[in-house]
Structure 1
Amino acid sequence: MFQEYDVIVVGAGHAGCEAAAAAATMGSKVLLITMNMHTIAQMSCNPAMGGVAKGQIVREIDALGGQSGIVSDKTMIQFRMLNLSKGPAMWSPRCQSDRAMFATEWRNILENNPNVDFWQDTAKELLVEDGQVKGVKTSLGIEIKSKSVVLTNGTFLNGLIHIGEKNFGGGRTGEKAATGLTEQLVQLGFQAGRMKTGTPPRVDGRSLDYSKMEEQPGDEKPAKFSYTDTKPLAKQRSCWITYTNQEVHDVLKTGFEKSPMFSGRIKGLGPRYCPSVEDKINRFADKDRHQIFVEPEGWDTVEVYVNGFSTSLPEDVQYAALRKIPGFENAKMFRPGYAIEYDYFPPTQLKSTLETHLIKNLFFAGQINGTTGYEEAACQGLMAGINAHRNVNDLSPFVLKRSEAYIGVLIDDLINKGTEEPYRMFTSRAEYRTLLRQDNADIRLTAKGYEIGLASEDRLDAVKKKQNEVEHIISIFATTKVSPEEINGALEQMETALLREKTTLSQLLKRPQISVQKLAEHSSIVAGLIAAFEEESVQQAEINLKYDSYIEKEMLLVDKMNRLENLNIIDNFNYDIVTSLSYEGREKLKRTRPSTIGQASRISGVSPSDISVLMLYIGR
């Protein structure tokens, strides 16, 4: 009935979709197994993509040739660039998405790829021979052979949903949990754990009073995620902001004794940076209110997502508390919020390719690795799909360094440090964030995507054109001088020091009060210089000019760290023979199996003296 596939992807969430699309685009024959064909790429939680650091990840996925940025652009209903009041390393694109359109667009992309086949079923068991995965066995008892398998099970592995004192098996509301795989993997020697996440109630937007809320419109000139020719939004839907109050908190507290989180029925740790509303009012008792984001679910639906009100309290308590929020006095609830517990596998059991140490050609991606968020899952799926394809074709691993991408930071953090709570990406996790900006992801990564056969030649040509434009603009600004007579009037309006002699435009741009846009508004000379170039190229040239000293400093740090990254540790290195290693360092190194000295230096519990001993041992 089934041919032998190059790659089987189990699960069709954000990780699974990117994994299947990447491997298939590169030439592998892929089977995507999902429990429900109608929930492919389902946005299980909030209808949004991007955000702080997450937006950078989406742009990196796109730059490599992935699909999340394109899907986001085609299905967004609002776009905002966050953190514009801060430096460009912090700027982060975010969009509100049409939930239904997002899933439909992803399914269309996969169905239009001739190398992707589908099978609606549950993978119950892995077929493993001599330490290598050979395929899967489904709940129908069908054995499907493959050269590699990517597990992207999300919250479905032994998923348990909690609403007040009620709990029932499920990977998502209305969908059953997946059983069998965890137990087999544990028997094979894998370590497993439990995590928890949650979602808020959904309400009827027709029942809300928006006059009592603060409107949050999209950007006046909306940008986009993809570096391809997707179109920016011509119209947008607003989101809204309101707040809880003491009355809301008092109602919620009446349900605390029935809370599965406070009663101990939930064992898994939840996301630190997206806590439930009951957790917030318990942990931050000094706060008399908490922000609530009221987010529409799409263009043609009245359903609204109540961001900031994630809860697993009894449904009657949820409903009563909701109606105490300004604007929600007459709210009608579509469905209650809930918490979900699920199995995950500590990611220290993975190589930097996301292949497991224990089983060859078996890859884990997404929440199975302890992460939270669509974007974190999607980039792992992309990298797992790429490396599954490369493994079965005897090609070298594709790994991104911490200095090359947020994706590299995320995977390096996971495999070296592990995580005991749902991992979320922040700009603060990246030590080279001035280099890893959202505006230059294409320049950083598209050539790499093209080399491995994922990014198209058209993408590469567009990047080269942009690079040439940026360099040309920088050259013009570095050589064009303006006199006091030409520019002082503009400088006075910008409230910055006047010139006494001719100065290059690049020197003027070093001043924090000055931007190319402001110069162009006040100076016809500057306006004329930039008129011939794309806005994106002008912005990137400005960032490079304004922050060149910071960029240069980070490049020096990267060079220093790369010297350690280039010191390889042989596979199956016997750490027991290095007697000078600390006991903890030896245990952590044996468990994580780092491939380079640089990777070893980032493992929690491996000391600088351990690294010195290792370097001496390998002759450095």
Structure 2
Amino acid sequence: MTYPGGDYDIIVIGAGHAGSEAALASARMGLKTLLLTINLDSVAMMPCNPSIGGTGKGHLVREIDALGGEMGKNIDATMIQCKMLNTAKGPAVHSLRAQADKKAYQFRMKEVIENQVNLLLKQQEATEIIVEDGKITGVMVNTGAVYNCQAAIICSGTYLKGRIIIGNVQYDGGPNGLFPAMYLSDSLEKNGIALQRFKTGTPARVDAKTLDYSKMIIQEGTNPETHNIINANITRSPLYTGEVVGIGPRYCPSIETKVMRFHDKERHQIFMEPEGLNTNEIYVQGMSSCLPEDVQIALYRTVPGMEKVEFMRSAYAIEYDCIHPTRLKASLESKEVAGLFFAGQINGTSGYEEAGAQGLIAGINASLYLRGEQPVIIDRSEGYIGVLIDDIITKGIDEPYRMMTS
């Protein structure tokens, strides 16, 4: 049973990094905006690495800031530490990277969104887009509410028919134990929007109390014993049994992929990164995996200083639906449905910064669309955001896209 939920100029589906920037942009441009999220506690969540910026990505954050976005301000207010990368090279490739306090980052962004004029945040799952005469007219949610709109921006991240994979343990789920969005994909396909399947993964989060930092050699990483465990159990990895059909990111491979692909390497670097100032959770960068949990524990314990490590969250892979971005205009509006925009990982990209940049542009252009004005299109020669958008809409992608300076 449905009921009328109200009228809005723009509805943004998903409140991750893309959705947050999109909703803030449209609201700040004076449009009545509704921001829907599957869980209010997941606003601006960092489901993977606890950092903002880095090579290429730091450039995007600066461009977001120059265009009035929030990501740079938010990380400045909540970061643990900041470092300039690539200082041995020319200034064109100098990139800031900030270590984030994940919860502080989320809470501040949520506060900014909640206090933004023209913007309403709701915890509801979008289940269907309503299209009439080839144009978006509304969004239906899981509670039966139907919200009318003149434009919508889909920023669904990795939630669309999300599937968690930990060896032979596989189930429908979103990142970090959240629910997946199991219905919106069908509505998109019904309206002529073709989908593809991608994959990404994340390392385990381990308990800092169980680490012996005195045994860790700076930037030493894995060792032959780690590799032996992976080789002996590779047939238990869904990546190598054909169970995982989604295509993963080239620049963020799992530890088993690194070991199998680079046989000549005796070591792979790993880093211990704190998830925040008020938690014992440590993000083990470089050890992403979807091997069974018992194998994960065994291989993690081969690393010096991790002999007695205890997991707080297991490493996992997640498969999800995304669109073919060649079906987007340069404004990030769909070629199939007028007034429907897409931003973030649903466009086949990876990374918080790439998502935030697209969200900002989609929010601006959805607002200009309603005003009857020309969209903002950044040329490849004008900014990294221009390179990012031009790449995905003209070249297409067959793996998650990451921004590079080269």
Q: TM-score range by the shorter chain?
A: over 0.9
Give per-residue Cα distances to partners, 1:501-526, cap 9 Å, x unaligned: xxxxxxxxxxxxxxxxxxxxxxxxxx
1:205: which partner in 2? 208
2:56: which partner in 1? 53
Residue 252 of structure 1: how far off its partner (Å):
2.1
Residue 214 of structure 1: how far off its partner (Å):
4.7
Give per-residue Cα distances to partners, 1:510-558, cap 9 Å, x unaligned: xxxxxxxxxxxxxxxxxxxxxxxxxxxxxxxxxxxxxxxxxxxxxxxxx
1:333: which partner in 2? 311
2-structure distance, mates of 1:57, 1:189: 31
Give per-residue Cα distances to partners, 1:410-438, cap 9 Å, x unaligned: 0000110010100000011xxxxxxxxxx
Check conservation: 1:4, 1:146, Cα contact below 8 A.
Answer: yes
1-structure distance, mates of 2:233, 2:268: 18
Amino acid at match of 1:68: M
Residue 253 of structure 1: how far off its partner (Å):
2.4
1:254: which partner in 2? 232
Q: Does residue 190 of structure 2 align to residue 187 of structure 1? A: yes
Decide which of 313, 324, 330 is 2:302's aligned counterpart: 324
SS of 2:5's equivalent?
A: coil
1:139: which partner in 2? 142
Amino acid at match of 1:357: K
Check conservation: 1:39, 1:103, Cα contact below 8 A.
Answer: yes
Give per-residue Cα distances to partners, 1:69-92, cap 9 Å, x unaligned: 000101110111000001111111
1-structure distance, mates of 2:401, 2:263: 25
2-structure distance, mates of 1:298, 1:174: 19
1:109: which partner in 2? 112
1-structure distance, mates of 2:215, 2:98: 24
1:584: which partner in 2? none
Amino acid at match of 1:308: G
The 3 A distance-change label for structure 1 pair 386 and 214 is farther
For structure 1, which segment, 322-331 or 173-182, has the greater mean C-alpha deviation from structure 2 after superposition? 173-182
Higher RCO (C-alpha under 8 Å, 6+ residues apart): 2
Residue 242 of structure 1: how far off its partner (Å):
3.8
Amino acid at match of 1:323: R
Check conservation: 1:366, 1:376, Cα contact below 8 A.
Answer: yes
Amino acid at match of 1:385: G
Q: Does residue 129 of structure 2 align to residue 126 of structure 1? A: yes
1:394: which partner in 2? 372
2:65: which partner in 1? 62
2:82: which partner in 1? 79
Check conservation: 1:255, 1:314, Cα contact below 8 A.
Answer: no
Q: Does residue 132 of structure 2 align to residue 154 of structure 1? A: no
2-structure distance, mates of 1:191, 1:3: 29
Q: Does residue 350 of structure 2 align to residue 347 of structure 1? A: no
Give per-residue Cα distances to partners, 1:310-355, cap 9 Å, x unaligned: 0000001101111110111121110110000000101000000000
1:28: which partner in 2? 31
- Greater fraction strand: 2
SS of 2:130's equivalent?
A: strand
% identical equivalent positions = 51
SS of 2:273's equivalent?
A: strand
SS of 2:131's equivalent?
A: strand
SS of 1:381's equivalent?
A: helix
1-structure distance, mates of 2:174, 2:86: 34
Runs of 4+ in 1 over 3 A off after TM superposition: none
Decide which of 243, 266, 273 is 2:244's aligned counterpart: 266
- Greater fraction helix: 1
Residue 186 of structure 1: how far off its partner (Å):
1.7
- Number of equivalences: 403
Give per-residue Cα distances to partners, 1:15-66, cap 9 Å, x unaligned: 0000001111111111000110011110010110001010000010001100
Residue 296 of structure 1: how far off its partner (Å):
0.6
1:18: which partner in 2? 21
Residue 249 of structure 1: how far off its partner (Å):
1.1
1:362: which partner in 2? 340
Amino acid at match of 1:306: V
Residue 254 of structure 1: how far off its partner (Å):
2.9
Check conservation: 1:345, 1:369, Cα contact below 8 A.
Answer: yes
2-structure distance, mates of 1:244, 1:268: 27
* TM-score between the two structures when normalised by the length of structure 1: 0.64
SS of 1:153's equivalent?
A: coil
Check conservation: 2:47, 2:176, Cα contact below 8 A.
Answer: no
Give per-residue Cα distances to partners, 1:288-313, cap 9 Å, x unaligned: 11000110111121110000000000
SS of 2:91's equivalent?
A: coil
